[in-house]
Amino acid sequence: MGHVLPVNIDDIATEYNRGATSQQIGSRLGVCALTIRRWLRGSGVAVRPRTGLHSRKHQFNQSAFSVIDTENKAYWLGFIMADGHLWKGMALQIGLAVIDQVHLEKLKAFFGGTQPIYKKLQPASMLNGRMIKQRESVHVQFSSKQLVSDLGRLGIGNSKLVNPADQLSVDLRRHYYRGLFDGDGSLMKQVVRTSHVQWEMNQCGHFAVVNGFSEFARSTCGAKASVRAHRGIYYCSLHGNAKPKQLAKEMYADSQVFLDRKHTLFLEMGV
């Protein structure tokens, strides 16, 4: 007498052939995916190889950067240039301060991703000659060779030589630079002579990227914003009132996606 399965294999086969994964079916029945695959094979069902979509633990749009043709794509390309890391040609990793966790949620929504955001305790370390205290950070990872390839083609991971903005249409560049600035830029309010307010904007990074931002600032508001080097990192700065406001308006006005705390400062500028 043959072994009797504790479930209806026909129902499992139907569910599997309609696209459900062995992991999904196993989770529902309380058994492991390998057991589901063994049952299917034993019943003559052709089992899909564990590659591609059906073996992927977390789903997301892997072709999001195949073509940069929207505001959101341009913005996230700039942000990834600033804060992203391509891990071993296999995955995109991004880590931020805990205060910016909601921004990682926005990135997940952009990708349509199901990846978890996890917290990590960063040890104290030296950065540009300054001691950074131990701090908590949040991280997310998107594993995909196609995604990494598309980002690499656009210049991510090769920022010493390439500025991705050069590959974008002119109308999308302000969104790219907003993403870059949200990641590696700073906007600060300065009160001088009791009531007079000035603003300072800084952008740091590799030369090609910072030089591109400097040229963008010059074409937008006429600011010189010369590129300088400090401890191996390049940066450019704008100071004053009218020109920082004009540049911030070009980047943030009527935008769909941004880092909340910098957008709040932009609104405080009153432009």
CA distance 128 to 65: 32
Residue 52 has pLDDT above 50, yes or no: no
Distances (CA, A) of 108 to 36, 104, 115, 173: 30, 6, 7, 22
CB 213 within 8 A of CB 229: no
Residue 84 has pLDDT above 80, yes or no: yes
Q: Model confidence over 209-241: pLDDT tens digits?
A: 999 999 999 999 999 899 999 888 899 999 999
CB 197 within 8 A of CB 189: yes
pLDDT of residue 108: 95
CA distance 195 to 126: 36
Choose between 187 and 13: higher pLDDT. Answer: 187
pLDDT of residue 54: 45
pLDDT of residue 211: 96
Q: Model confidence over 92-115: pLDDT tens digits?
A: 999 999 999 999 999 999 999 988
Token code pair at residue 59: 């789903």
**Hunting for tokens 């906007």 — which residue is that?**
187
Using pLDDT thresholds of 50, 70 and 90, give the confidence band for residue 194: low
Choose between 166 and 122: higher pLDDT. Answer: 166
Give this prediction's pTM: 0.78
**Quick count: other Cβ atoms within 10 Å of Cβ 15?**
15
Q: Which of 15-19, 33-37, 65-69, 77-81 has the lowest mean pLDDT?
A: 15-19
pLDDT of residue 83: 95
Using DSSP's 3-state secondary structure scheme, residue 142 falls into strand
Distances (CA, A) of 17 to 5, 11, 38: 19, 10, 15
Q: 124 — phi, psi (to 5°)?
A: -60, 145
pLDDT of residue 53: 44
